[in-house]
Each structure stands twice: as structure tokens, then as C-alpha cells.
Structure 1
Amino acid sequence: MSDQPTDILPDPATTPAGTSPRARRPRWTRVLLWTLIPLAVLAVLVVAADVAVRAYAEQRVSSEIEKKLPSNIAGDVQVHIGGVSVIQQYLSGSFERVELDAPKLTVDGTPISASVIATGVPADFSKPIADATGTLSISQASLNKLVTIPGATGDITLGDGVIGYRGSIDLLGLPVGYSVTATPTAHGDTVLLQPGTASLDTGSGSNVNLTRLLQALTDRGPFPVCAAQYLPKGVNVSDIAVTTGHATVTLTASGFVLDEAFLRSKGSCS
């Protein structure tokens, strides 16, 4: 008897023709792979297309807005379109959320920072935007170049929650200069200044606290400053936050068409 191992070969009668002895992958697995692979490739292509369309749309909107800015306003406007699919939003005729950011905007050469969040923005810019909330950040130096308080003399100062300015009032039949700090409150098309502390400016250059002066100022109620004259028509002031040397103003608008006429318009106070 030979000591060589005996090879066991498959029985040709029990092995199907054209198949190897190794087990083949089940048919359902092959069908699943042939289905999922094209779907995965299609999903990647759709995502890539949406990213490309989003980038193009953001650049196009940014360019259009910059072209429509009034001649006294300059700066780059960055645009971000929110939502899951830009293509789907465009086909529906409206974008859910559009963010505009202009951190280095200038108005008459004066630097400010502006940002806007708009919702319900139509793909057709000739149709109105549903709602928008904007924020303006401005330094004390820029504020003094752009805004004036009627009757105020000298510069406006920004403190911790208050605005300071100088003015003149008729006291006992005589015009008297004074310095006052006031708390600003947003009131739609106006900003109301409620006097808090006041002092009399004397000829010697010193200030004398004067209760009667403050009473005279307070009796007149909050002093209104028209904000609409500095903003496009229909834009309202909804909030003001003042810190030392800096102010942040929140603006709102609804149902407006973002075109050159709107950006160039100016509101008025009744």
C-alpha cells in the first residue's frame, strides 16, 4: 500500500456544468449591489450638483446686490443660502433663508458692519421678500459722522447703555447749555431718548448738577429722533444696544422688493 495521500475529486455527476466547486454569491446579493451602487453614484452627483448650484447662486445674488447699492454705499456682500437643497428651493420658487454679511461696508466713506437674515426670499427678485432682520454695528466715531440729534451740539458719546450729548434749553426765559445722558429706545421709525442725568454748562467751564434742568427735560417726555430718514422706506428699528464707544441697531422689514429703488429710497417720520 502506498503512503501517498489520496486526493478526493468532485464527482462530475454532482457538479453543475460551468461552475466551480467554490460556492457562488447568492443572486439576491448581486441584484442588491447592482441597485445600490448606481443609487450611491447618483446621490453623490446630486450633492455635487447642488453644491455647485449653491455656490453659483450665492455669487450671483452677491453680485446683483452690490450692483444695486446706492452710490454712497460700498463694500463686499457675502451671501449664504440656507436650507437642504438649493435646486429644490429654486424649483419651488422661494429660498427658505438667505444670509447677507457685509463686515466692511462704508456709507459716505464711513465704516460700519451690516448683516441681514431674510426668509421667504423669492427666486424671482422682482417679487417681495417675506421678512428680513438686519443688524448694524457702528462705532461712536462713525455714528457722529452719519447721525445728528436735532438741537444737539458737539459729538454724541456712547456709554454703558446710554447716549450722551449736549444741547440748549430755555430756562427761566434764558437759553442755557446743558449736558445730558439718555437711554435710547427703539420705536419703529424713530428712536426715543429718555433723559437720565443732566448738568448745566456754566461759563467757567464746570458743570453744575441741576435738578430743575433735568425736570424740565423729563417733563417734555422722551425726545424723538427720526431714524427712518437714514433707512430705506419701510425699514423699522426694533432694538438698540449701546456699549461704551459702540452701538448695535436691529432693523426689521417685510413684504419688500430688494431692488435698486428700495435700496435708494428713504423713509420719513410722521
Structure 2
Amino acid sequence: MTVGDTQPTQPLPDWTTAPPEPRRRRRAWPWILAAAIVIGLAVAAWFLGESIARGIVEKTIRDQVVTSLALPADQEVDVEVAGTVIPQLVAGTLDDVTVSSDDVSFGEFSGDVTVHATGIGIRGEPEADAATATVRLDENELKALLAGVQDFPVDSLSLASPDLAVSTELQFLGIAVPIGVSLTPSAADGDIVLTPSSLQVAGAEVSADDLTSRFGAIADTVLKDYTVCIAQYIPAGLTLTQVQVDGDHVVADFDVDGRIASDPALRENGTCDA
């Protein structure tokens, strides 16, 4: 008996059925990175398109304002379109636009102007659902406006919030009596109205009745309202609604006819009765 006869026979390994290799797990980060790059490019393209669209819209509005209101070609006009522009262009309406410019000339005087409009249609006739304007005048600009008001003591004018202050004189028995008058501004029928609200005689506070009892009918020259017509200086599409003294400025608020951009007649200045 040989050694081979006494050892158990072992089966030969099956080399054709090797154990499967563990499955490789694909890495996700390259795909995430690729997706992030695509999204980033899309966002960049959106903002690039938005920036271009905004620039075109704001320049167009600025050019239209300069042309329509006959402003100097180099007039600095700031335009702000609220919200994202591209969806508004698609919808055909600019939701909220603010236009402002300093030192805008109105004939003999000038002021800082801000116009705010909402719901501006950009297809067909350009009209707004609603619009308002604000004009701010400093003391010198206000004096230029009031210089044409008959008998108004413009040289003594100063701003004393919430009123205007002027000084004048009453001639009584050959004596010049200094009178100080505080005037409260308001709006009436599109005009500025300056109404005496307090009086001082030689620095002492007096009432209107006291002034009349002392000086009689000549007191009427300082007790009267001053009406300031501004229609000749502004487009007919603007209607004065409020006037107030705010610090070192007089602020005038206007309603603006939403058709002013499409109707030339509304852009023409109004007239004042002689």
C-alpha cells in the first residue's frame, strides 16, 4: 500500500469560478460638482441678463424724462426700478419706479425732484396706475419762487419749521413799527397759500385782533393770506396736494396724472391768471 493509497483525495480548486470582487461604489461628488457648476452658470447667466435688462430699462427711462421735460442733456437723473426687471418686462408692466434729480429748473427757480410711479404699462401707451412727485426747495430757491408775489417781503424770508418767517413794518402816525409774521404754508386749488399764524409787534407776541385794534385797517396788509400760483412753472399733469416746512427745506407734494408720459398736453406748463 502506498502513501497515496492512505491519504484522502482532495478535490482540485475550480479556477473558473473565482469569488466575485466587491462592487465598486461610484463616487457622487463629481456629479454634485458638475451640477453645482451648471447651476452656478445658470444663476450667473440670469444675473448677467438681469443686469443688462435693468441697465437698458433705466437708461430708456432716463432719456425719456430728459426729452419729455426738456431738461439739459447732461442733467443727472437717477432711476431706480424695484424688483427683478426681466419678469416685469415679460408681464409688460413695471411695478415700481422712482426717478429723482437735483436742481431741476422751473423757469425762475429750481428744486430737487423725486417722482414715484407704480403700475407703468410698457406696451402701447406708457401710462401709470398711480404717480406722485415731491419737490424740495431750500431757502434761496423758495425766495426765487416768491420774488414775483406782489407786496411779499421776500428779502426778510427765513425758514422756521413748521412755518415761514418774515418781517415788515407798519407806518402809524409817521412811525415805522416792526412786525414779525409767521406764515403757515398749505395747498388750495393747486396754489400755495401762506397764512399768518402768529404775529409779533416789536418782538412781543400779539393776536390778530390786538393788531387790528391798535392799527386799524392798515393791519390788513400783514393779516392777509398770500396766494402763490405755481401752475406756470410745472406741467399741467401735476396737481399740488400738500406743502410743508421740513427743517431747512419747503416740501411740496403733487399728484401726477398717469397719462403724462403719453399726453403732450399734460407735459406743457399751465397758466396763472393775471
Same fold (TM > 0.5): yes
> In 2 relative to 1, CA 167–227 (structure 1 residues): closer, same or farther, beyond 3 Å?
farther
**SS of 2:258's equivalent?**
strand
Shift of 1:251: 1.9
Over residues 217-248 of structure 1, what are the superposed CA-to-partner deviations in whole Å (9 max), with x where a residue is unaligned?
A: 59x88554333333211322233231565312
Correspondences of 1:1-270 after superposition (within 5 Å)? 13-15=19-21, 22-25=24-27, 38-70=38-70, 75-84=75-84, 86-108=85-107, 110-124=109-123, 126-147=125-146, 148-155=148-155, 156-165=157-166, 180-198=181-199, 211-212=211-212, 217=220, 223-243=226-246, 245-258=248-261, 261-266=265-270
Q: Indicate the residue corresponding to 2:4 in structure 1.
A: none
Q: CA RMSD in A?
A: 4.1
TM (normalized to structure 1)?
A: 0.70
Shift of 1:97: 0.6
**Mapped contact 1:149–1:225 kept (Cα < 8 A):** yes
> In 2 relative to 1, CA 108–253 (structure 1 residues): closer, same or farther, beyond 3 Å?
closer
Distance 1:223 1:108 in 2: 21
**Mapped contact 1:167–1:179 kept (Cα < 8 A):** yes
Q: Indicate the residue corresponding to 2:3 in structure 1.
A: none
**Mapped contact 1:152–1:166 kept (Cα < 8 A):** no
Distance 2:165 2:94 in 1: 42
Shift of 1:104: 3.7
Q: Indicate the residue corresponding to 2:14 in structure 1.
A: none
> In 2 relative to 1, CA 162–186 (structure 1 residues): closer, same or farther, beyond 3 Å?
same
**Mapped contact 2:66–2:73 kept (Cα < 8 A):** no
Q: Which runs of 5+ in 1 are unaligned?
A: 1-10, 201-205
Moved more, 148-157 or 246-255: 148-157
The structure whose Rg is larger is 2
Give 4+ residue runs of structure 1 displaced > 4 Å after superposition.
29-37, 71-74, 108-111, 165-169, 176-179, 206-210, 213-218, 220-223
Shift of 1:98: 0.7
Shift of 1:92: 1.3
Distance 1:136 1:251 in 2: 8
**SS of 2:228's equivalent?**
strand
> In 2 relative to 1, CA 149–162 (structure 1 residues): closer, same or farther, beyond 3 Å?
farther
Moved more, 224-233 or 135-144: 224-233
**SS of 1:252's equivalent?**
strand
Shift of 1:181: 2.2
**SS of 2:257's equivalent?**
strand
Shift of 1:136: 1.4
Percent identity over the alignment?
A: 20
Shift of 1:254: 3.4
Aligned residues: 243
**Mapped contact 1:72–1:107 kept (Cα < 8 A):** no
